[in-house]
Structure 1
Amino acid sequence: MEKFNAKGVAIGLGAGLTWAIDTILIGYALSSTTFLKFNDILLAAPLLSTFLHDTFSSLWMMLLMAVRGELGTAFRKLRTKSGWWVVVAATLGGPVGMTFYVLSVQSIGPSFTASISSIFPAVGALFAFLILRDRLSLKNWLGLLTSIGFTIALGYSGNLITGTSVSIGLIFIIFCIFGWGMESVISAYGMKDDEVSPLQALFIRQLTSAVIFAVIIIPIFVGHSLTVQVATTKTFWFIALIAMFGTLSYVFYYQAIKLIGPVRAMSLNISYVAFAIFLDVLFLHGDFSLKNIVFAVFIMAGAVLTVVVDKKEPDLLSGVA
């Protein structure tokens, strides 16, 4: 017999859906004249958009926590051991993961970067086993690898060139994969004793990411003079709106980590690739591609298979509770 944590699965898929919306909208923002004029400045557009996105997301989370009457409590959680684990997770997933992702795009291109980075749930699964003793069945591994495999196939195009830039790019993407894979595992570890709730953890995550980007990443790679330029445009406020979807996606994601564990949450989260394809065809009049639709179906099927638990086995979904 098989079972689902139906609530956890629904929330995990909700994270994928809302992140697909966020991804589509951020694509529109990056194609605006505001960011196109930065094309001659390496890394400017992606790093600036990520910084602004996480900054607005932290403000949305601050507003949410204030409405819930938990803002003061959330700040106090920063001084706890669990809170510091979330800070570590946030640093790995946000500034470290995203910065090395962008550096890899610069070195080996977006196609290979997106394809290779999609294996991060498998890396997360390894660390989840080592740190949290969260085991996956053979069926779960089949689902996870199916999702990853079809995501790689979907994103791949062209041939990988040879040369120093490739070697450096692959090193960059390894750091990215490590950061993204470890984020959910360490976040789960930080939330395991209920000292920090998923919402409090997310608040800490976004605040940490925004501060590190503002103080370290942007000054080193871009410069805040460009931030000021973006702040005077309509795109600035468009990113604030986009960040609402991103924040909602993270709310779902962190709730899913708590309910079904980091590996299954990661697997459901990468369903955003499939959702983005469906949304593009259904609502944005994108070109219909049978191959893309079939790949999207396999990505979704693999994600769902990853969260199936055999009733004869111990309840793995309680691994991080």
Structure 2
Amino acid sequence: MNVVMILLLMSLLTRMASGLVMPVSNGLDQLVKAASSTCDILPLEVLFSWASTPELELVEYSRAGRRSYQLGRAHARLRRRLPPSLVLYIPGWWNTPTDESAETLVKALLHRTPLILVLDTRATFCRGYVGSATRVSSVSKKIYKFIKNINSEGYPIASIHLIGFSLGAHVAGMTGRLVQSRLNEKIGKITALDPARPCFTQLPQYRLSRGDASFVQVIHTSAGVLGLEQPVGHADVYVNGVSSPQPECKERAVSLDCDHAQSWKIFATSITNDRSLLGRKCESWNELSDGRCSGNETAVGYGCNTSTRGMFLHKSQEAARKLWTFSPFDIRTWWLG
């Protein structure tokens, strides 16, 4: 591809990122389709490798309050205060360190550990979607440097748990890959909350995979729409199957963002209640698609055993209520009450 064509495509990307090609009023579903279609024609490999990221901040949450540091200097500020197991949350598109997702996860996690780190991604992900997606690689490089710095001071890489939502899930994956290739060690755990689908169906080197940590768990709540459909972790949990919308979101005029958000909501609940997120193992994709998995039921989510492998179907209480409603023509429902 010649330089002129690349510059023209970069111009199109900039216009889309600023909202000049498609107005938001057309609806979120149209924007998702537009982003996916645009990614199919753009030179993604060039854009991912060219995109740069400004200096980012890392926000420390503890029971004593909140502090912010420049990511490049955070290792020095956190020296000798890191807990035995370090959790770093990477938000997604247009999420912030103080929005509902971050506050919900942090509040739950503080019941388990005295210190949580949240990456402030506003400088990279609070912009047009395609422009945000192409910065996943550059953000991961900055987190890698932070991990390299704390490891050089003696912190074990195996004690690191990265949690990523949407675009943040791919950042977590690429960070883990950098750690493995450059430090010859694996991050202990990655929890991917509905990894973003638009722009990530191609070029697997820029998206999450099961090899990115010793244990990779994926929570799918918008499979095939905003989130990836295919299993990409050691344990892939599909909430209410592979169809959308989620039962909790059916009354919404626009359910896509609600479906996507269910991933961090149910994971946060599992942090304080190990039995809130149970999954039945699926022996095949057909079982999962039919919503009738025949394997054993196991605890997934925060308390998931790191030896767990396979695809799992979790049916929420809301889905169960909708499934088992009284029908005078169905004898199975006569004794339900």
Query: How does the TM-score come out when normalised to structure 2?
Result: 0.26
The structure in which a higher percent of residues are helix is 1
Query: How does the TM-score come out when normalised to structure 1?
Result: 0.27
The structure in which a higher percent of residues are strand is 2
Q: Which has the higher contact order (CA 8 A, sep 6+)?
A: 1
